[in-house]
Amino acid sequence: MSASSSTASSFETIIGLEVHAQLKTGSKMFCGCRVEFGAPPNTLVCPVCLGLPGALPVTNSNAIALALRAALALGCAVHTRSVFARKNYFYHDLPKGFQITQYDQPLATDGSLALVSEVGGEAVSVRIRRLHLEEDAGKSLHDRFPGLTAVDLNRAGIPLIEIVSEPDLRSPALARAYVTRLKQTLEYLEVSDGNMEEGSLRVDANVSVRPRGSRDLGTKSEVKNMNSFSQLEKALTYVAAQHVKLTEAGSVVEHQTMLWDPARGEARPMREKEDIHDYRYFPEPDLPTLVVSEAEIERTRRGLPELPWQKEERFVHEYGLPGYDAEVLSATRPLADFFEAVAGAAADPKTVSNWVMGEVMAACNEGGVGIAELGLEPGALAELIGLVGSGTLSNNLGKQVLRKMIETGKAPEQIIDEDDLSKVSDVGQIEAWVAAVIEDNPKEVERYRRGEEKLLSFFIGQVMQKSKGRADPARLREVLLGAINRDWGG
Ligand code: ADP
Ligand code: MG
Ligand code: ZN
């Protein structure tokens, strides 16, 4: 069963994605203009990216290097010769009247990305049709001046890669998993920061439905303007359901581009420049053939970092972690590095994993920060884990100390000293707490003695409260049982 069955079990959802990722370069694709998000409008422009007559493009070699890394990590065949082409159309955010992209001879083709299906955990390999380089267009601002559209050309000419998948995805959830994996991979490669909100990762989703068992592809809709993973999944679910409804009603699905409206949770047909699909592509006359040598391809391949799926596998083998832990801890490189630093200094990797996936990630989520911004030293966490392991701190106290460590940046030993937090095993002290609790709760003691044994945990809780969590649980149980029984009838 796939998730598309929630739309209608007799139809299958087919999805192919075109993902645009902004490359992490300091300057634009064909000129020296700086790349920066949020700069004042039209301050990062020059004759080349403004498309002024006579200005000539020069290819940014760093952009090519980054695209090459992405292509190789995705298992693509890289072509030593590829060609830039002009895609001609008129739009106010495109001052040259054409976009420089790659068309019939792209940088790379025939890659794949392995996913694990959210249903039943089966392995899915999504074929990547092509990966090519192109430049971004400017940005239209429709809401600044009533009745007018403003144009910011800071984005015009920023280098992008476009990654086109085959229609291999069979549910909106799997499409989301694909984009998540792709973003993670590009981040690992330091090719793109993958920020969907800032538009450095943009997804055009193609979706169609067909009767189960059919081998033909149905007519697709192209959906744009999803700015988060959850919006992507919602938009695809919405459009697929529309296709099913139309088909079941005996209507024809028309090929359309739809704009997703996150606020209203619906997709509308786009008023469009792009419906007239004649871009009159031709090779860009101002740029030479893009040549990448075999040597450079090999050098790049050797220089690839450990990729997410490789790291996950290593975490399972090297640290004996469950697959789930390996996946969570490998979500980002900083998190994985943090885990490894702690694991290297502490005894048991699974215990470290529990702390990192539990308390540490909860603190990150609470603060809305990444592991790097949390300011927690791996060595300090290892020390804390050691203190809990040796019994100096109870588990609960350990969590308390960790919270203080994050707040103050202090070492665990110092916090334990200052707050007088270490576990109390001293029998005299525990007996005093127990005696006080028995005295304070005569009714409960009475009931316990009449056979309500479950009240034992109530007493333990009371003593824990009195001791501010410091009483050694094993000792406490012993003392408590002894005290209640000794006083029995007396
Ligand atoms: P177009 O010519 O309309 O651009 P392409 O064949 O180039 O269409 O494919 C563009 C994207 O749409 C690819 O990611 C591809 O996987 C996807 N795609 C193509 N046909 C379908 C379909 N029938 N249903 C869903 N996705 C599709
Ligand atoms: Mg296309
Ligand atoms: Zn420029």
CATH number at residue 441: 1.10.10.410
Same domain, 132 and 162: yes
CB atoms within 10 A of CB 177: 21
Q: Which residues contact residue 397 at a Cβ distance below 8 angstroms, ignoring those fewer than 6 apart?
A: 388, 421, 422, 423, 469, 470
Measured in whole angstroms, the distance separating CA 378 from the mean position of its chain's CA atoms is 23
Tokens of 337: 């590095």
Interhelix angle 456-466/442-449, rounded to 10 degrees, is: 150
Same domain, 103 and 209: yes
Q: Is 67 exposed, middle or buried (0-12, 13-18, 19+ CB in 10 A)?
A: buried
Q: What are phi and psi of 426, to 5 degrees?
A: -60, 120
Tens place of pLDDT per residue across the chain (490 aa)? 344 444 447 999 999 999 999 999 999 999 999 999 999 999 999 999 999 999 999 999 999 999 999 999 999 999 999 999 999 999 999 999 999 999 999 999 999 999 987 777 789 999 999 999 999 999 998 888 899 999 999 999 999 999 999 999 999 999 999 999 999 999 999 999 999 888 899 999 999 999 999 999 999 999 998 989 999 999 999 999 999 999 999 988 888 899 999 999 999 998 655 555 689 999 999 999 999 999 999 999 999 999 999 999 999 999 999 999 999 999 999 999 999 999 999 879 999 999 999 999 999 999 999 999 999 999 999 999 999 998 788 888 899 999 999 999 999 999 988 877 777 878 888 999 999 999 999 999 999 988 898 999 999 999 988 887 888 888 889 999 988 877 555 4
Q: Are 74 and 36 in contact (CB under 8 A)?
A: no
- Counted residue by residue, the chain has a size of 490
Same domain, 325 and 456: no
Same domain, 432 and 411: no
Residue 222: strand pairing partners: 206, 257
* pLDDT at site 354: 97
Q: Considering Cα of 384, then 390, then 393, then 399, what sign does the dihedral take? A: positive
Indicate the SS3 state at residue 110. strand
Same domain, 288 and 315: no
Same domain, 267 and 315: no
Q: Are 331 and 356 in contact (CB under 8 A)?
A: no
Question: What is 416-457 written as a DSSP string?
Answer: HHHHT-SPB--HHHHHHHHHHHHHH-HHHHHHHHTT-GGGHH
Same domain, 205 and 326: no
Q: Which of 401, 419, 437 is the last residue of a domain?
A: 419
Same domain, 192 and 312: no
Same domain, 163 and 284: yes
What spacing in Å lies between the alpha carbon of 287 and ligand 2's midpoint? Answer: 23
Work out which ligand 1 atom sits closest to the CA atom of 222: 12
Q: Which of 254, 271, 299 is the last residue of a domain?
A: 299
What spacing in Å lies between the alpha carbon of 67 and ligand 3's midpoint? Answer: 20
Q: Considering every ligand atom, which ligand is closest to the CA of 156?
A: 3
Work out which ligand 1 atom sits closest to the CA atom of 168: 16
* pLDDT at site 50: 96
Q: Considering every ligand atom, which ligand is closest to the CA of 16?
A: 1
Max Cα–Cα distance, the chain, nearest Å: 105
* pLDDT at site 275: 55
Q: Considering Cα of 374, then 375, then 377, then 383, what sign does the dihedral take? A: negative
What spacing in Å lies between the alpha carbon of 277 and ligand 2's midpoint? Answer: 10
What is the rounded CA–CA span in Å between residue 36 and residue 27?
A: 9
* pLDDT at site 121: 78
Best of 4, 206, 214 for a ligand 1 pocket test (most atoms within 8 Å of beta carbon): 206
Q: Enumerate helices (H) and strands (E) in the chain, giving the number of each.
A: 18, 16
What is the rounded CA–CA span in Å between residue 84 and residue 106?
A: 8
Best of 208, 220, 232 for a ligand 1 pocket test (most atoms within 8 Å of beta carbon): 220
Same domain, 244 and 114: yes
How many domains does the structure of the chain reveal? 3
Q: Fill in the DSSP letter of residue 471.
A: B
What is the rounded CA–CA span in Å between residue 87 and residue 156?
A: 14
Q: What are phi and psi of 91, to 5 degrees?
A: -160, 150
Work out which ligand 1 atom sits closest to the CA atom of 208: 24
* pLDDT at site 309: 96
Q: Which of 245, 270, 299 is the last residue of a domain?
A: 299
The domain containing residue 346 runs over which residues? 306-419
Same domain, 249 and 348: no
How close are the terminal C-alpha atoms of the chain, in Å? 67
* pLDDT at site 270: 84
| Atom 13 of ligand 1, residue of closest alpha carbon | 16
Tokens of 226: 């999803």
CB atoms within 10 A of CB 337: 14
What spacing in Å lies between the alpha carbon of 139 and ligand 3's midpoint? Answer: 15
Same domain, 438 and 323: no
User: Residues enclosing ligand 1, CB less than 6 A?
Assistant: 14-18, 164-167, 206-208, 217-218, 220
Tokens of 45: 């422009």
What spacing in Å lies between the alpha carbon of 224 and ligand 1's midpoint? Answer: 14
What is the rounded CA–CA span in Å between residue 394 and residue 64?
A: 54
Q: With CA atoms as reference, report the closest residue to 70 among 153, 196, 190, 159.
A: 190
